[in-house]
């Protein structure tokens, strides 16, 4: 049986993620109290369900018990994954204001921003239990695509996610390491290259002819190669490495694509995302 636990901040897209899982053939349960998770998984498993997705968040009065429950389930069931969704406070405030929804922790004289901060504190212990996704700048379609990438992963061992981004849009919340390549020559200032991306051959050739860009690439590659075994020994399931340039279109995309290709050739499990292109 494969069990996916969807959790995270209110307004970060958990409903969209759960719907994407349902469309992919999972039996989905929304807003389950944490302490009912083991019995629910056992009951559905006995009923013949082999792929189950459950949403648990701060609406559960027994949320503090969830980390221990997840550890026990992993010891007994094996394939238990956690998908943790988060977004910036600015994005969440905007989403709640636009939809006029009430935050589950609002009330008692606290503001929406204070409710979000409180919820972030309550969920802090869950973020490291699985795969974190920053949905601040994601469209619903992009989130559905990322969820499908997530369920296609082999649960055994470490998965490395390389993601490009633009600093002017903010640093990804789910990044474990952030590398800044803004000091390198910018293809955006070349009229023929400006409308292209780091995936296009003219941009690739431009950056490969820049000694500084090649030196930066080698430094990042060597750093990741050196420390990756430590994360594997630490039984980590996911490691997110973010490469940022100004707009997230040229330099960061080039570096992300090249690093992804290199580590795939070394037989590592690798995912690639380009936040600003998606």
Residue 101: which pLDDT band, with cuts at 50, 70 and 90?
A: confident
Give the pLDDT score at 156. 77
- Convert the pLDDT of each residue in 233-262 to its tens digit: 887 889 999 999 999 999 999 999 999 999
**155 or 188: whose pLDDT is higher?**
188
Give the pLDDT score at 15. 94
- Convert the pLDDT of each residue in 46-66 to its tens digit: 999 999 999 998 887 788 899
pTM for the full predicted model: 0.86
Residue 102: which pLDDT band, with cuts at 50, 70 and 90?
A: confident
**208 or 106: whose pLDDT is higher?**
208
Give the pLDDT score at 240. 96
pLDDT at 77 over 80: no
- Convert the pLDDT of each residue in 213-238 to its tens digit: 999 999 999 999 999 999 988 878 89
Contact between 170 and 136 (Cβ < 8 Å): yes
pLDDT, the chain, mean: 93
pLDDT at 155 over 90: no
Residue 167: which pLDDT band, with cuts at 50, 70 and 90?
A: very high
pLDDT at 92 over 90: yes
- Convert the pLDDT of each residue in 111-144 to its tens digit: 999 999 999 999 988 888 889 999 998 899 999 9
Structural domains of the chain ordered from first start: 2-151 (3.40.50.300), 159-274 (no CATH)
Distance CA 62, CA 95 (A): 27
């Amino acid at each position: 049986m494969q069990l996916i636990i969807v959790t995270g901040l209110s307004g970060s897209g958990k409903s969209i993620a759960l719907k994407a899982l349902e469309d992919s053939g999972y039996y989905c349960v929304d807003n389950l109290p944490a302490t009912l998770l083991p019995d629910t998984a056992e009951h559905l498993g006995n009923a013949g369900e082999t792929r189950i997705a459950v949403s648990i968040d701060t609406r559960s009065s027994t949320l503090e018990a969830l980390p221990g429950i997840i550890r026990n389930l992993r010891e007994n069931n094996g394939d238990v994954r956690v998908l943790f969704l988060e977004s910036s406070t600015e994005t969440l405030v905007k989403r709640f204001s636009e939809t006029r929804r009430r935050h589950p922790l609002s009330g008692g004289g606290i503001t929406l921003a204070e409710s979000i901060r409180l919820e972030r504190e309550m969920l802090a212990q869950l973020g490291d239990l699985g795969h974190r996704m920053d949905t601040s700048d994601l469209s619903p379609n992009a989130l559905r695509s990322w969820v499908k990438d997530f369920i296609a992963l082999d649960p055994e061992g470490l998965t490395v996610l390389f993601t490009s981004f633009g600093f002017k849009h903010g640093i990804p919340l789910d990044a474990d390491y952030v590398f800044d390549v803004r000091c390198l020559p910018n293809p955006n200032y070349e009229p023929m290259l400006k409308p292209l991306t780091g995936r296009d051959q003219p941009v690739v050739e431009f950056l490969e002819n820049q000694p500084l860009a090649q030196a930066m690439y080698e430094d990042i590659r060597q750093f990741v190669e050196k420390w990756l075994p430590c994360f594997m020994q630490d039984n980590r399931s996911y490691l997110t490495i973010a490469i940022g340039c100004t707009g997230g279109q040229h330099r960061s995309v080039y570096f992300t694509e090249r690093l992804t290709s290199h580590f795939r050739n070394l037989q590592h499990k690798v995912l690639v995302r380009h936040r600003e292109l998606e």
